[in-house]
Amino acid sequence: MQSPAQRSTAIRHWPKDDRPREKLLKNGERSLSNSELLAILLRTGTNGTTAIDLARKVLDKFRTFRNMSHTDARDWKELKGLGPAKIAQIKAALEIGRRFRESEIKEERPQIKSAKDVVDILMPQMRDLKKEVFKVVFLNSQNRIIAIEDLEEGTVNHASPIIREIFQRALQHFAVSIICAHNHPGGDAAPSAEDKAFTHKLIESGKVIGVNVLDHIIIGNEKFHSFIDRGSEFRQP
């Protein structure tokens, strides 16, 4: 049972205008600090520690919401008061934010004019991944995004099945052009020999099938390598 001193620090005993939930409802979510937003997710603290205090401990450890992504249970062990349920709530909220951004992109159907346009979309999703992920951006005749999809079959070390799958999906989407991208989990965006061989085979296969391969981009930690283009405008097919 909490002592009177501990009870007096509970958020429910704070003035209404200072409580994160009430503050959000009155002034909007943008008025809250990161720790206040996180405290709403956590709902309660533990052992005389408020949800705000617990949220601050989480932010002290990870610094940013980005750093909380792609973590596992071992990264959270030292934070007392955070059980599986609270950790799941945080990770679910982060994933909702990521998917919200993906939905915005699909609805906007932005026009891709440079490699940087693709990197701006994919970098937040891919720079912190612990495993290599391969994505394909499918484009129409105006270089507007039709879809962005993950390929689940291996990496560029298994080029043939990946290339078959890429162009099968391109034809299903009636895509005129594609841009491929994969991440290097180590953070270095420099292409490997396998990356170079894969890109050559990809471009040649596209010529045969009639789908333009505009680029193959490697994403590292705040770095990227573009095989075909480094920021200049793409030519319309």
Domain finish residue from 102, 124, 145: 102
Map tokens 């209404």 to a residue.
Answer: 16
Q: What is the per-residue pLDDT for 118?
A: 93
Domain finish residue from 85, 102, 119: 102
**Same domain assignment for residues 33 and 73:** yes
**Same domain assignment for residues 24 and 53:** yes
Q: What is the per-residue pLDDT for 225?
A: 93
Q: What is the per-residue pLDDT for 18?
A: 75
Name the stretches of the chain with pLDDT < 50: 1-8, 230-232, 237
Q: What is the per-residue pLDDT for 130?
A: 80
**Same domain assignment for residues 75 and 115:** no
**Same domain assignment for residues 204 and 143:** yes
pLDDT per residue as tens digits for the range 76-101: 888 888 888 888 888 888 888 877 77
**Same domain assignment for residues 118 and 18:** no
- Kindly write down the DSSP assignment for every residue of the chain, as one continuous string: ---HHHHHHSGGGS-GGGSHHHHHHHH-GGGS-HHHHHHHHH---BTTB-HHHHHHHHHHHH-SHHHHTT--GGGGTTSTT--HHHHHHHHHHHHHHHHHHHHHHHHH-PBP-SHHHHHHHHHHHHTT-SS--EEEEEE-TTSBEEEEEEE-S--GGGHHHHHHHHHHHHHHTT-SEEEEEEE-TTS--PPPHHHHHHHHHHHHHHHHHT-EEEEEEEE-SS-EEESS-SSSPPPP-
**Is residue 196 assigned to a domain?**
yes
**Same domain assignment for residues 97 and 116:** no
**Same domain assignment for residues 156 and 59:** no
pTM over 0.85: no
Domain finish residue from 41, 74, 102: 102
pLDDT per residue as tens digits for the range 160-184: 568 899 999 999 999 999 999 999 9
**Is residue 145 assigned to a domain?**
yes
CATH number at residue 182: 3.40.140.10
**Same domain assignment for residues 94 and 143:** no
Domain that holds residue 15: 4-102
**Is residue 83 assigned to a domain?**
yes
- What are 89's strand-pairing partners? none
**Is residue 235 assigned to a domain?**
no
